[in-house]
Amino acid sequence: MLRERLADDYAKILFYLRNLGFICAYEAVKVCLENVPKVLEKCELYSKSITKYESSHQEAVSIIEESCTGEHKRLVDVVNGGLDAADIGLISSKLHELLEIFRTFGKAAEVLCIVFFERIIAAEVIERVIKKVTGLSHVNVTYITGSNSAVGGLSPKAQNVALESLHSGKVNLLFSTDVVEEGYQVPKCSCVIYFDLPKTVCSYVQSPGQVHRKDS
């Protein structure tokens, strides 16, 4: 069980390194550490396994920190550094472009945007990164994944909380997999972005239906 979970965690971390850069990989490892199973059983073997599981993630943190030469500690400065951060791999050029689009948005009341991701893990970690970036205070983020998604999907209660915050105006930027296209009720948006290309013609055709605000 733990071996499979560790393999899954490493697959996610490698995905971030290859597609989003060191900063997102660093955040991904921290998510994994936050979700380390609790030792509730008085079993020495299980306890040792948990300890090794946690230490392997701590080692991954150390490796990324050394690779970033301490830049992860200046996340705001690095991301705001623009193309320099992308050039040295701290963020991917694709993520850099997404952040630049967010910077062009007007006041919070004027923005309601959906960003579609193919993979759940991208939505979760990029959300964490954006919340730490200065210059994006007008952007409030939430995400949904669909309760029937693979490992990492949100519970129905969490989905409802996210959607309620969107309808109430508490957040204006929704990260989602394609579940929004499958029946979730969301307000009409001012902007729809596909971080990953639509997987089907139907998805591409449906996207304009989400955009009905003035000057969208």
Cα dihedral value 208, 127, 155, 197, nearest 10? 40
The DSSP secondary structure of 97-121, one letter per residue, reads HHHHHHHH---GGG--EEEE-SSHH
Amino acid at 33: L
pLDDT string in tens for the chain (216-residue length): 677 888 888 888 888 888 888 888 888 888 888 877 776 666 777 778 888 888 888 888 887 777 765 554 555 455 555 556 777 677 888 888 898 888 888 766 677 888 888 877 777 788 888 877 777 888 888 888 765 555 556 777 888 888 888 888 888 888 887 766 555 667 777 888 888 887 777 666 665 555 555 666
**In 106-185, which ranges are continuous DSSP H helix?**
120-130, 156-168
Query: pTM above the 0.85 mark?
Result: no
* Cα separation, 5 vs 26, whole angstroms: 18
Q: Which of 72, 123, 71 is nearest to 95 (CA)?
A: 123
